[in-house]
A and B are shown apart, each in its own frame.
Chain A
Amino acid sequence: MHFDWSYFWQELLTPSSAFLDGLGLTVLMAVLAEIIGLVLGLVFAQMRLSKFRAAQAMASFYVWAIRGTPLLVQIVFIYTGLAAAGIVRFQDITFDGFNFSGNLQAGILALGLHEGAYMAEIFRAGIQAVESGQFEAAKAIGMPPSMMMRYVVLPQALRIVLLPIGNQFNILLKNTTLVSIIGVSEMMLVTESINSATFRTFELYSVLGLYFLALTSLWTLFMKLAEKRLELRSLRPAFAAQAAGDL
């Protein structure tokens, strides 16, 4: 086995600007998709728990369809499939010198829709983990449903879902590599193109792996700190741990 250490260190410590751009895209996609996912998740969780049958059915269908198909298929379907059918063709948008390319938009949308289905399930479980007495007390004192959600239920549910949401974001970070299939130059695709010129596959993919490890480790560290801060006096630790375990 030959491992070119000097090439490895060079790529790891002084990566090309193309690779750094790829890193930027990876993080950008993950963050934007997470925001989309959180919003969709909240909306679809409310729909699943609503008393309106049509809303329940729509939300169930969405979660079922997204969780039952591969993300890779969803990405190609949204970018290439919709365009081929003449339904949506994602156009490049440039603002402030940044080219927000059509495939990048489609990639973020696909990742966001995917994330939304998982977030919907996490939020639903979190809301259901809040004691029924909390709902009843809020109703009995005269709070309409929206107020009950905002001030009583969601603050308690959020603390329960923090850990599962963090884990899901970790998965999302890694799933961004799949968007390389539609030609978004994130870290994976950049690595592939460098590789096709140099054939230093072992070294290059070691570097790529380490960059992802760094990203996910930083995120885990951040989650640990956030959890500490949120370990508020207002929640029994035992209850929080038990509720998180239920998910």
Chain B
Amino acid sequence: MSNTQDTLIEITAIEKWFDRTKVLDKVDFSVARGEVVVLIGPSGSGKTTLLRCINHLESVQGGRILVNGKPIGYRTSNYRLVEDSERNIAIQRRDVGMVFQRFNLFANMTVMRNITIAPRLLLGLSEAEARERAEALLAQVNLSEKAEAYPHELSGGQQQRIAIARALAMTPKVLLFDEPTSALDPEMVGEVLTVMKDLATGGMTMVIVTHEMGFARQVADRVVVMSKGAIIEEGRPDKIFGAPKHPVTRALLNAVMH
């Protein structure tokens, strides 16, 4: 890819096993600053796993992951890689925001507290600063009136927009999305995709796993296709959608387009 200055995520030859099953097979994957990458592939191809390795929700058995030039989850000790302490990993994760399929808002907190708690505790913002930031983000996702609501009082689409605001409150360098609209009723998909489009336009670096091919075509700088734990094809969206080379890609696009 481009030079290291512009590379935000640099993954080299990672291997991931669940027991005896190889789920990621020497995957190389990089993301440049400001780039929007959409990850597609058949079910079980390893998209979620790859995403979760980037913020070390999953450990890897081989290879290297650099976020912003620093290894995540591991440090070198006596020239060998050892798993880092939970405390250090937590610090590294602040730069990487994640949005889940099932939203996962903190159920015991109001919307406002969901957004302010991490900046308060981890970034040392004052209550006033954190609230100010949260109010701006709530306005951005069009939910200012829901500040004092609890997650279960919101629709799925609203919860997902709050989840995006919560992640943004930490001013991450990159946002990871794992099928952010798959758990939503169809009429709520649009409102979430709109927020994501605005982020893309605003220059946010994003890695998105999605089945929304129309959306992918619109916002992606690059589309990456996975199959059986490996990247089989990647390129600009017009190329991947217009002239897919790999038979798996063709089958996949046929399945979701028709």
Chain A positions near chain B (C-beta within 8 angstroms):
131, 133-134, 136-145, 147, 151-152, 155-156, 159, 233-236
Contacts and interface: CB of A to CB of B under 8 A. Distances in A.
B107 A145 contact: no
Given A133-B100, A233-B150, A236-B152, A139 B93 contact: yes
A16 to B, nearest CB: 49
Contacts, number: 77
A142 B109 contact: no
Interface string B97-139: 1101011111111100000011001100000000000000000
B152 A143 contact: no
A136 B104 contact: yes
Given A141-B170, A151-B121, A235 B90 contact: no
B87 interface: yes
B13 interface: no
Given A133-B100, A233-B153, A138 B86 contact: no
Contact of A139 (B57, B117, B170): B57
Contact of A137 (B104, B110, B153, B170): B104
B253 to A, nearest CB: 30
Given A141-B118, A141-B170, A134 B90 contact: no
A139, A143, A159, A234: which has the most chain B beta carbons within 10 Å? A234
A138 B106 contact: yes
A152 B104 CA distance: 11
A144 B103 CA distance: 20
B94 interface: yes
A43 to B, nearest CB: 18
Q: Specify the main secondary structure of chain A where it touches its partner.
A: helix
A156 B18 CA distance: 30
26 contacts: A133-B103, A133-B104, A134-B104, A134-B106, A136-B100, A137-B98, A137-B106, A140-B55, A140-B57, A140-B93, A140-B96, A140-B97, A141-B94, A142-B90, A142-B91, A142-B94, A142-B170, A143-B90, A143-B122, A144-B86, A145-B90, A151-B117, A151-B121, A152-B106, A233-B150, A235-B152
Contacts of B166: 141
B55 A134 contact: no
A144 B107 contact: no
Contact of B150 (A137, A139, A152, A234): A234
A159 to B, nearest CB: 8
B107 A143 contact: no
A35 B168 CA distance: 41
B98 A140 contact: yes
Contact of B105 (A137, A144, A155, A233): A137
A147 B106 CA distance: 13
B210 to A, nearest CB: 18
A136 B57 contact: yes
